[in-house]
Amino acid sequence: MLVEDDHRFAATLCAALRRRGYEVSHAPTGAAGLAAGGCDLVLLDLGLPDQDGLQVCRALRERSDVAIIVLTARGDEWDRVAGLRAGADDYVVKPFSLVELQARIDAVLRRSRPRARGELRLGRLCVHLDRWEATWDGEPLPLTRKEFELLAVLAREPGAVVSRDRLIIEVWRTSWRGASRTLDVHIATLRSKLADRSLVETVRGVGFRLAAPDPQRPEPATVG
């Protein structure tokens, strides 16, 4: 649900999100947003005509665990802190790119939905989510926290391409373009610590993919 009083902006954003496969409803006021039915995620403007968006955020959080992303022109540090303290899961300042917003939506939804913990097995590689550890043939890999987080994001969707923007947002919690070089460095060191360096594939201009190390082995499975 998009809670936004600017009808032109709302129409454009709703149409763009629907083209990407989301079901979107629009509430032009805070009261309409609070009165609406249940949803998976709320995109919430703070400058609403009937009440401050922070009040709406607090009210939503008091009654449910729905994921909330604030979309606002208020970009000061205090505004960000206030939004997060009011219960928002993320805070995006206008103007923003649709690519960044979609990555943040996907990241917040993944964090808010229950996920089976345990192990992600891909051939000889095993990612132990509960223990924050990865092993190869049962032997622990000497990964840093960021390297492990990168591997875990890729391992949750084996064979799928994960965009650079999404990796930066999920692992470094930022959309700063300068983090792209940091991502490349961490991918390189992650590869150097895997027995099979080709396991992490580069998809030029898009991102990275975790491939099965042995095509003769069965598909990767999640063990809860």
| CATH ID of 2-112, from 3.40.190.10, 2.60.40.1170, 3.40.50.2000, 3.40.50.2300 | 3.40.50.2300
Domains 2-112 and 119-223 are alike in CATH topology: no
pLDDT of residue 200: 94
The class (CATH top level) of 119-223 is mainly alpha
pLDDT of residue 113: 59
Domain boundaries, the chain: 2-112, 119-223
Put the strands of the sheet holding 2-3 in their side by side order. Answer: 26-27, 2-3, 41-44, 67-72, 90-93
pLDDT of residue 222: 39
Check if the beta carbon of residue 150 is closer than 8 Å to that of residue 171.
yes
pLDDT of residue 63: 85
Q: What is the mean pLDDT of residues 31-37?
A: 89
Condensed to tens digits (0 to 9), the pLDDT of residues 84-99 reads 999 998 999 988 888 8
Global model pTM greater than 0.85: no
pLDDT of residue 97: 87
Residue 203: phi and psi, rounded to 5, are: -110, 100
- Count, in order, helices (H) and strands (E) of the chain: 8, 13
- Does pLDDT of 171 surpass 50? yes
Q: Is the dihedral of CA 178, 181, 185, 186 positive or negative?
A: positive
pLDDT band at residue 117 under the 50/70/90 scheme: low
pLDDT of residue 217: 43
Mapped onto helix, strand or coil, the DSSP state of residue 14 is: helix
- Does pLDDT of 156 surpass 80? yes
Residue 155: phi and psi, rounded to 5, are: -70, -25
Condensed to tens digits (0 to 9), the pLDDT of residues 174-205 reads 766 677 889 999 999 999 999 888 899 999 98
Q: Distances in Å between the alpha carbon of 200 and those of 106, 134, 135, 154, 218?
A: 22, 14, 15, 9, 18
